[in-house]
Amino acid sequence: MRGCRQPCGPGRPGALTGVVRPLRGQRARAAGRAYASTPGRPVAGTPDSFTGSEPMTAVAIRPLAPPDLDAYRALRLRGLAEHPEAFTSSAAEEADRPADALARRLAADPARPHDAVFGAFDGAALVGLCGVDVDMREKVRHKGHVFGMYVPSEHAGRGIGGALVGRVIAHARAAGLAQLVLTVTAGNDAARRVYERAGFGVCGRELQAVRVGGRAHDKLTMILFLPAARAPRG
């Protein structure tokens, strides 16, 4: 992989498929701190934090739990079907997975205490997703992997993607993680801009990482370094 082009230290975070206004520099860091102390807080009331000059429509972001399974599965399957090049999983494979396997992703697991899937809610409707998981083996438990970002197109431009990323950053900081990593499909410029505005930098490119319908797509690896007060314990 090529050397990471991200500056060291805290920055200004696979696929974002709805076009969402990105987080911006210091606002991203401030948003992460705010979310760290107020999980599930509606993002209305901070109108410029994620969208620049455009006020946000109120959404609330919180960790998903097993009772959210049906809504989560439906939205995830929609994202996989609409944008197959943006995800490693396929819609067909995901549809064939037993429901309880997906439910385990939303349930608390003492062996993986930092794993979470966050949902953005407009009232009772789930309108955005973003997850993070942490491999708790000793050598790699300092980092989290961001996955499954999706905002449907009818909710584009509301700052939902940026708000979800801010919530994931806050979660990672609270867990004491040192860094977050993710992959984004090369050419998905909307997603890449959101992550770059939040402080992620490209540190590598995997050629022909996925194949969809016979066509190969490269994946960019991106990383964000975080101030970590402690190492997660297994």
Confidence band for 7, pLDDT divided at 50, 70 and 90: very low
pLDDT at 34 over 60: no
Q: What is the pTM of this model?
A: 0.76
pLDDT tens by residue, 197-209: 999 999 999 999 9
| Residue-level pLDDT at 139 | 97
Confidence of residue 58 (pLDDT cuts 50, 70, 90): confident
Which positions ≥6 away from 37 have C-beta within 8 Å? none
In the β-sheet with 215-225, what is the strand arrangement from edge to edge? 60-63, 116-122, 125-133, 143-150, 179-185, 215-225, 201-212
Q: What is the mean pLDDT of residues 127-143?
A: 97
Residues 6+ apart with CB under 8 A from 122: 57, 58, 59, 155
d(C-alpha 113, C-alpha 223), whole Å:
21
- CB 122, CB 155: distance < 8 Å: yes
Structural contact between residues 16 and 182, judged by C-beta atoms closer than 8 angstroms: no
Question: Per-residue pLDDT averaged across 100-114, rounded?
Answer: 93
| Helices first, then strands: H and E counts in the chain | 6, 7
Lowest mean pLDDT among 31-35, 146-150, 175-179: 31-35
- Residue 88: predicted pLDDT: 93
pLDDT at 63 over 80: yes
> What confidence tier does 188 reach under pLDDT thresholds 50, 70, 90?
very high
Task: Give residue 17's region: left, alpha or beta (phi > 0; psi -120 to 50).
Answer: alpha
d(CA 143, CA 178): 6
- The domains of the chain, with CATH numbers, are 25-225 (3.40.630.30)
